[in-house]
Structure 1
Amino acid sequence: MQLFFREFGQGKPLIVLHGLFGMSDNWLTVGKKLGEHYHLFLLDLRNHGQSPHSDEFNYTVMAEDVEEFIQTQGVERPVVLGHSLGGKVGMELALNFETPVERLIVVDIAPRAYHHSHFKYFLETLLSLNLSQMKTRIEIDQWLSKKIPQPAIRQFLLKNLKRNEQNRFEWKINLKAVYQNLEHILGPVTSNNSFDEPVLFLRGEKSDYITEEDVSTIKRLFPLARVHTIKGATHWVHADAPQELIKEVREFLSA
C-alpha cells in the first residue's frame, strides 16, 4: 500500500509514525523543528489521514506498508520514531522485518497488550454519529459533547473530519476497519528476535502506558533500550512537551 507522506529537511532520514486516530498533521510542529537537522518523513498509516483504507489492520500489514515506503523511496537505514500505535508499528518493523532500521524511538507505548476501553467507546460514539444530518462542525461538536465532555479529546477526534466532493462530511479515518480490528491493535508486539541497536523509549510522567513492570519486556526485546520520563507530559508527549521531546531525540541521535 502506498502511504501518504510529508517530506522536508535534510540529513539523516527520520520516519515519524503517528498514533491511533492521528495523522501526519499531528506531528507537523515537532517535525518541522526536527527537519532543521534531519530528513523528515511524516507518514499517514493505513486507514488514517490521506492514506488508503483497507479491511486489514494489524501491526504486520502496517509494518509491511512502512517497509514498502522505505524501499520505494530509497531510504537507507532510517531512524524510526513512533507514538502509541505508531510506536508499536516501529517495534514490529525493527523486530520482525529485514528492512534495516538504524535506531528506534518509541513514544509512550510498551510492547504489551492494553485494555483501554475508551478507544472502543470513542469508536462506537463516532460510528453512531449520523454525519449526513450534520451541516457544520459546530453542530457535530455539540452532538459529541454529550458523549465526550473533554474539549481537547473532541478537537483531536474532529481533526479526522473532511468534506467530500459533494461537500458532505465524512471521516478520514476508516472507523469500521479500526473497530473491527481493535483487538489486534490493543494486542502485544511479539517476536522471537531482539533488536540489537540503540532504542529510546520516551514516556509521559502523567501517563500509565509504560510502567516499571514493562521495562523487563522492553529490555528483552530491545537490549540496548533506554527509558526516559518527560516531566509533566501525558500520553500526548509531543503536544505537552515538544521542546523536551525534540531535545531528547537530538541527544539520542547524536550520541
Structure 2
Amino acid sequence: MTVELNYRISGEGDPLIVLHGLFGSLDNLGVITRRLENQWQIHALDARNHGSSPHSDDMDYPAMAADVIAHMDAHSIDKARILGHSMGGKVAMQVALTYPERVHSIIVADISPVTYKPHHDAILDGMQRLNLQGVTSRAEADARLAEFVEVAGVRQFLLKNLERIPAEQQRDDQELFRWRLNLPVIEARYDNLAAAPTAEAPFEGPVLFIKGADSAYIQEKHKATIRELFPASELAVIDGAGHWLHAEKPSEFTQLCQEFLVR
C-alpha cells in the first residue's frame, strides 16, 4: 500500500525527482537542487518512515518505488528523470526497473544494485538507546549521542532528525525532543534496505552512476550486475569524495548532473 509522501517542489522545467538516503530527508541534497532548479522542476521527496512522510510498517524497495509513482500520478507527471543518493539511488533503480515507461533517465549517487552486508548497526543501536529524558537542546543530545556515534559529522547528520515535541503533545515535561524517523521499523526492515532492487528485465534507458573515489559502495565486482540491469549506464568518478560526494564536491557533482540531464 502506497503512502502520500511529503514533498517540496521548486524551480521550473521538466520534472526531476530527488530521493535522499537512509536516515536522511528531502533537505539533504538541497545544495544540489538549488543549483538545478533554474533548469528543472525539482520534486524533492521524503521517503516513507523518514522526514515528514507517514510511517508505515512496510518498507522495501518495491513499496518505496510505488510511493514515487503515486507522487507522479498525483502531480500528473507522466515521465520523469530521477536523482537518488544511496538508499534513494536504490529506490530510483527500482522505479526504473519496475516502471520503465515512467522514467526518462536516472542518476544514481554512490550505490550499486547489490545486497550489502549490514553496516549501520552501531548507528541504529545508538539512536535507539539515546536517552532524550531531560534533553533541552541539540547540543545536549549531541553530547549524549557521542557515547554511541564517535564521528561528529555523522552525529550532526543524524540529529537533523530530532524534532521538538509540540507542547500540546508532551506527556512528560522531561522529554522535549523525539525522533522523526520511524526507527523501530527501519531497524526491523533493515535487511530489505540492504537488499538489491528486484528486476524481471533490465532498464534500457540512460543511467549515470556517480561514485566517490574514496567510497567503497560501487566496486569493480559490482560492474557486471550494473551492466546486466542497466546496459546503457555509464560511470563517473569524483576524486577526493567519499559516500557524501554531493556535499563534499557539490560543484563537480552538479556539473555531472547537468551534463547528463540535458541529453
Q: TM-score range by the shorter chain?
A: over 0.9
2:28 match: secondary structure? helix
Identity rate, percent: 39
The farther-off stretch of 60-69 and 131-140 is 131-140
Q: Deviations over 1:211-252 (max 9, x none)?
A: 111111001000100011011110011101111111001111
Cα root mean square deviation, aligned: 1.1
Query: Structure 1 counterpart of 2:179, which letter?
Result: W
Counterpart for residue 173 of structure 2: none
What is the Cα deviation at residue 195 of structure 1? 0.5
Residue aligning to 1:206:
214
- TM, length-normalised to structure 1: 0.97
The alpha-carbon deviation at position 98 of structure 1 amounts to 5.5
* Cα distance in 2 for residues equivalent to 1:230 and 1:98: 28
Structure 2 residue 262 is the aligned partner of structure 1 residue 254: yes
Look up the match of 1:14: 16
**2:125: which partner in 1?**
124
- The corresponding residue for 2:39 is 37
User: Would you say the 8 A contact 2:31–2:247 is kept in 1?
Assistant: no
Letter in 1 for 2:259: E
Does the 8 Å contact 1:67/1:99 carry over to 2? no
Is the CA contact (8 Å cut-off) linking 1:17 and 1:83 kept in structure 2?
yes
Rounded to whole Å, the distance in 1 between the matches of 2:56 and 2:121 is 19
Q: Which residue identity lines up with residue 122 of structure 1 in the other structure?
A: I
- 1:61 aligned partner: 63
Matched, 1:152 2:167: no
Deviation at 1:190, TM superposition (A): 2.5
Partner in structure 2 of residue 224 of structure 1:
232
Query: Cα offset for 1:131?
Result: 1.6
1:74-93: CA deviations, max 9, x gaps? 11311011000000011111
Q: Which amino acid aligns with 2:50?
A: H
Which whole-Å CA distance do the structure 2 matches of 1:190 and 1:213 have between them?
19
Partner Cα distance (1:170, 1:148) in 2 = 18
Structure 1 residues 171 and 99 mapped into 2: Cα distance closer, same or farther (>3 Å)? Answer: farther
Select 1:78's aligned residue among 77, 80, 86.
Answer: 80
Counterparts of 1:251 and 1:142, CA distance in 2 = 42
Cα shift at 1:99: 5.1
Q: In structure 1, the residue corresponding to 2:34 is in which secondary structure? A: helix
Query: Structure 1 residue 192: deviation in Å?
Result: 2.1
- Aligned amino acid, residue 61 of structure 1: A
Structure 1 Cα separation of the partners of residues 133 and 65 of structure 2:
34
Please report how far the alpha carbon of residue 203 of structure 1 lies from its aligned counterpart in structure 2 after TM superposition.
0.5
Paired position in structure 2 for 1:238: 246
> How far did residue 69 of structure 1 move?
0.3
Give the partner amino acid of 1:2. Answer: E
How much has 1:165 moved relative to structure 2? 1.3
How much does 1:130 deviate? 2.1
Matched, 1:193 2:194: no
Contact 1:93 1:99 in 2 (8 A): no
Supply the distance in 2 between the matched residues of 1:235 and 1:173 (Cα, whole angstroms). Answer: 21
Distance in 1 of aligned mates of 2:262 and 2:31: 21
Q: Gaps spanning 5+ residues in structure 2: where?
A: 171-175
Contact in 1 for aligned 2:122/2:148 (Cα 8 Å): no
- SS state of the match for residue 3, structure 1? coil
User: How far has the Cα of 1:35 moved from its partner?
Assistant: 0.3
CA contact (8 A) 2:122 2:149 kept: no
Residue 131 of structure 1 aligns to a residue in which SS? coil
Shift in Å, 1:135: 2.2
How far residue 30 of structure 1 moved from its aligned partner, in angstroms, is 1.1
Residue 99 of structure 2 is aligned with which of 93, 97, 100?
97
Aligned position for 1:172: 180
Aligned length: 254
1:116 to partner: Cα distance: 3.8
Residue 94 of structure 1: how far off its partner (Å): 0.6
Segment drifting more, 138-147 vs 63-72: 138-147
